[in-house]
Amino acid sequence: MKVSIIGATGYGGLELLRLLHQHPHVEIASLHSFSAQTEDISRFYPHLHTVYHQALAEIDAVKIAEESEAVFLATPSGVAKDAAQPFIDAGMKVIDLSGDFRLSKEGYEKWYNKDAAPDAYLEQAEYGLAEWRTGTDATFISNPGCYATATLLGLAPLVMQYLVVEDSIIVDAKSGISGAGKTPSENTHFPETNENMTLYRMNKHQHIPEIMRQLQVWNENIDAITFSTSLIPVTRGIFATIYAKAKAGTTTEELLALYRESYDGKPFVRIQAQDVYPTLKQVTASNFCDIGLCYNERTNMITIVVVIDNLVKGAAGQAIQNLNLMAGFDETAGLDFIPVYP
């Protein structure tokens, strides 16, 4: 299958390139960027020299639709809502990695403070939380955000089973700095970031509404969650510690059994053994989402630890997983390598 990547010069686009390049059923037909044109992609990323060369091509929707069967948009928020339309209209497989199609019109305009895509397009988009998609016939996927992926995968079994007190859910999520993208800012300036940890956008992160929207699909009683986002001095990763109060007494064993069953047959979610919590580094550069948990009988509180790589399972990897599902490829195609460690 031939595919095109729009937004190839950002970290998300680069990760698509890395993973698709070794995908057994995919050929990268063209790379595109709104911020650069005609230069070879290796100009931006010297590590690609001799491994992968391709000049950025003009974003000509007609031509892209002729040459490729699928298109990935890895553009900053506010770009795909317009740029994706011709590809959707052309009936291509479209996977948008930005937030542009994750919310309702009102939700988007409130949380992103920008005009939303037309309703007709918003409605066509299927939210691509790969493990919990209900069908595989969608051709237009809105790929979840990194925080949302970790949070939803961590909460799904509990929420679907109505096991936790609805207003008790707290997500304490920490992100590596690559989540801020490729553009330097004060928040990514090494002397300020190194040896530091900061909390930002408390209860205000734009991934909250997409989380809420999905939680409410699963459990209509959930009105709100508490959601904190912090930056830790690592390049990659989301480490989410999630707390929720059990409605009834339970045990760690029971909960682990539930999670194992819930994710049975889901190759990228690995439930840890009892008393074992995943480390961030054990999923770096992979599409895995590793989950450990415990129940505290004294407080009736469940703690769930979820780790993903924000650029893989939280972006490019899940996008490819979604392509695999759409295209009828093996779900793990292109994603079944041993990741780099340490």
Is 291 among the residues that bind a second copy (CB under 8 A)?
Answer: no
* Cβ pair 140, 88 in contact under 8 A: yes
Quote the CA–CA distance of 183 and 68 in Å, as a whole number.
29
Among 77, 85, 139, 282, binds a second copy (CB under 8 A): 282
Q: Segment near a second copy (CB under 8 A), from 122-130, 132-140, 143-151, 291-299?
A: 291-299
Quote the CA–CA distance of 214 and 109 in Å, as a whole number.
18
Quote the CA–CA distance of 225 and 242 in Å, as a whole number.
11
Taking CB under 8 A as the criterion, which residues in 299-318 touch a second copy? 299-301, 303, 305, 307
What number of chain residues touch a second copy (CB under 8 A)?
A: 89
Helix axes 208-218, 146-160, angle to 10 degrees: 20
Taking CB under 8 A as the criterion, which residues in 107-166 touch a second copy? none
Among 108, 147, 239, 263, binds a second copy (CB under 8 A): 239
* Chain centroid to CA 259: 20
* Chain centroid to CA 158: 20
* Cβ pair 109, 115 in contact under 8 A: yes
Task: Name the minimum Å distance from CB 51 to a second copy.
Answer: 5
Q: Specify the DSSP class assigned to residue 40.
A: B
Name the active-site residue from 3, 17, 61, 146. 146
Q: Dmax of the chain from CA atoms?
A: 62
The answer to whether 289 is a known catalytic residue is no
Taking the least distance from each CB to a second copy, the nearer of 55 and 58 is: 55
Quote the CA–CA distance of 20 and 14 in Å, as a whole number.
10
Among 292, 314, 317, 334, binds a second copy (CB under 8 A): 292
Task: Name the minimum Å distance from CB 337 to a second copy.
Answer: 5
Q: CB neighbours of 43 closer than 8 A, spacing ≥ 6?
A: none
Q: Segment near a second copy (CB under 8 A), from 91-99, 142-150, 318-326, 331-339?
A: 331-339
* Cβ pair 101, 80 in contact under 8 A: yes
Task: Name the minimum Å distance from CB 318 to a second copy.
Answer: 16
Among 60, 89, 115, 167, binds a second copy (CB under 8 A): 167
The partner residues of 243 in beta bridges, in order of sequence, read 170, 303
Q: Segment near a second copy (CB under 8 A), from 91-99, 108-116, 153-161, 234-242?
A: 234-242
Q: Segment near a second copy (CB under 8 A), from 32-40, 98-106, 118-126, 294-302?
A: 294-302
Q: Token pair for residue 23?
A: 């995908």
Among 63, 132, 277, 333, binds a second copy (CB under 8 A): 277
Taking the least distance from each CB to a second copy, the nearer of 71 and 304 is: 304
Q: Token pair for residue 140?
A: 């237009």
Quote the CA–CA distance of 270 and 263 in Å, as a whole number.
8
Q: Token pair for residue 70?
A: 């699928």
Task: Name the minimum Å distance from CB 246 to a second copy.
Answer: 12
Task: Name the minimum Å distance from CB 48 to a second copy.
Answer: 7
Closest CA to 144 of 7, 14, 317: 317
Q: What is the phi/psi pair of residue 331, to 5°?
A: -60, -30
Taking CB under 8 A as the criterion, which residues in 177-206 touch a second copy? 177-178, 182, 184-186, 188-200, 202-203
Taking CB under 8 A as the criterion, which residues in 29-88 touch a second copy? 45-52
Q: Which residues are catalytic?
A: 146
